[in-house]
A and B are shown apart, each in its own frame.
Chain A
């Protein structure tokens, strides 16, 4: 015990944890609680049945009432612990409830109906991480379609972002041509102009070329990001020009120089941009919301938002779908967290 404590309180250099160290860890643990707690609560709640989800005050773990198949009844009946008049407790199955009176039967003796006040019965429950919400949610929410749309959009937008921006960055970093400065300056100038300020006219462009309610209408306009060009150009500037000259002497075409020399060398920068692009496109909301009005083209984010806006919101289904939506990004983060955090810390963008 003493050894464990000594290990836990071991510090670099100094002999013991002082107050400052303790408060540091208190803050950090509080941080873990505040940052992860809500997500954990969401995940726990997503397993609750539609009855348990409205239980107030809410309980932490997902409970499910036991049921029993009784002869003479089609559906399984919920089980209760009932306190009888003589003080004994028996396990009975509820047939129906009328007002304050509950009609129950003994599973072993289904013929006889026992009537008690509802206050005398307590549900028999067990903790259950059943996947009912997920199954029902996927069926009623078109999850497959939305997921497919989101994956297609994220995948193609990211591939195109990498291709289009790296080509432009290659031209802007390795060639001197008339207009190159003008192009670069224009891009920098629009670096911070968000799509939200040109919502109406960009929608006109999309409508004119009949791209609304198509996935291509979400993918293409977001592909040419000035941020991507900027990031890749700055990286390519650090690659030595001698490599290119040598390749030219060997007779390589400009395309081969780009694709087989520059791109492989620019992998670190491409990886950062790829991570950003996946994050942006997967989480994108405003632009798909504007372009898409038919639900068969919805992405997960738009679908989720419209699902929760419907009448008679069934929270248990929404929560299950929310968990499924955050899962892919969480997995990617779990695997690539070191790359993501350092990438963002060094480039300063999101």
Chain B
């Protein structure tokens, strides 16, 4: 205990010398005459092209400004964004309600008859809510329970590992920038790449089973056993996302003023007390943001799992977004209304989580 507490609880601080590094880097580049000449020439050309483009647009915008006046130009600037936002986000949000309250399987709205809350009724009809098999839409409930299980385990595991990693990165270590990047690297990989990468390692003749059988144990059906499949979905999404939350937590840790540690040390605080009385409370706001962000993302888990198990084996890793995708796009019988109703139910959960986050951010500010 003493040992582990020394690792996590004893943050050391040193100003990172990135600014100096940058200056040195720039000087290195400047000394290279060829590089600087090429980049100079490129910059000049780019500047000329940019200026030309600006003047061209100005031919349209200047008369426009004379016509409607300076103040109203604000509307012109905000218009492109608002148009796209309105057509592709706001308007579909409204349409979603119409879909949810009309009858399948027609896709175009005029062909769909109004059926009130029937879609919702079907989703929410269950003899026993704890037994997905007794529900009218058993896959919906299976996906909900799978999602709940996934969210709890994945968020818990990921926040734990992110916190440990952030605390360790916050110690006085060599090459912190390098290690920080190492943990962050998987965040950048696309979900499909992450899924294929791990599928390759976990398949029946993969690396893990190779190691297991060479040690004399029978091979494990990682991908075809429901429990193992769920386990690995959690591990993989933790692997690919934890770097992001580590980064945020590390930023939170580094914003704790050093004086607080020094003062506590002077008063004879132990490492554990330091962690419990200073680090944890000071980190709480960041921690809450991390929790809510990771919750919102975990509820929407889709792409990694889609490419990794495709929802299987059976419906073991079928999560709520994939349920929506399946009903609306991939199943032979399209049930757009059902998909829309399910997505509205999910949106409610997300809105609640978002409001919680905004509230927390306001309290923090």
Contacts and interface: CB of A to CB of B under 8 A. Distances in A.
Given A165-B81, A345-B251, A31 B300 contact: no
B180 A341 contact: yes
B254 to A, nearest CB: 9
Contact of A200 (B61, B99, B310, B354): B99
Contacts of A330: 185, 188
Nearest to A315: B200
Interface in A157-210: 163-165, 167-168, 170-172, 175, 177, 180, 183, 186-187, 190-194, 196-205, 207
Interface string B203-238: 001110111011000000000000000000000000
Interface in B53-69: 54, 57-58, 61-62, 65
Interface string B313-343: 0000000010011001100000010011001
Interface stretch (B89-97, B120-128, B136-144): B89-97
Nearest to B18: A338
A171 B200 CA distance: 49
Contact of B182 (A36, A54, A338): A36
A202 B210 contact: no
A75 interface: no
A256 interface: yes
B265 to A, nearest CB: 13
Contacts of B61: 253-255
Interface of A: 11-13, 18-20, 23-25, 27-28, 31-32, 34-36, 38-39, 41-42, 45, 54, 56-58, 163-165, 167-168, 170-172, 175, 177, 180, 183, 186-187, 190-194, 196-205, 207, 220-221, 223-224, 226, 229, 248, 253-256, 258-260, 279, 282-283, 285-286, 290, 301, 304-305, 308-309, 315, 318-319, 322, 325-326, 329-330, 333, 337-338, 340-341, 344-346, 348, 350
23 contacts: A23-B7, A24-B173, A56-B205, A56-B210, A58-B207, A168-B78, A168-B81, A190-B85, A191-B354, A192-B350, A198-B92, A200-B336, A204-B107, A221-B84, A224-B81, A254-B61, A256-B58, A285-B191, A285-B306, A290-B329, A308-B196, A309-B310, A345-B250
Given A282-B190, A285-B307, A304-B192, 14 more contacts: A24-B173, A56-B205, A168-B78, A177-B75, A190-B89, A190-B90, A191-B354, A192-B296, A192-B354, A197-B343, A259-B57, A286-B302, A301-B191, A318-B200
Interface of B: 3-4, 6-7, 10, 12, 14, 18, 51, 54, 57-58, 61-62, 65, 70-75, 77-78, 80-82, 84-85, 87-96, 98-99, 107-109, 164-165, 168, 171-173, 177, 179-193, 196-201, 205-207, 209-211, 213-214, 239, 243-244, 247-248, 250-251, 289, 293, 296, 300, 302-303, 306-307, 310, 321, 324-325, 328-329, 336, 339-340, 343-344, 346-347, 350-351, 353-354, 357
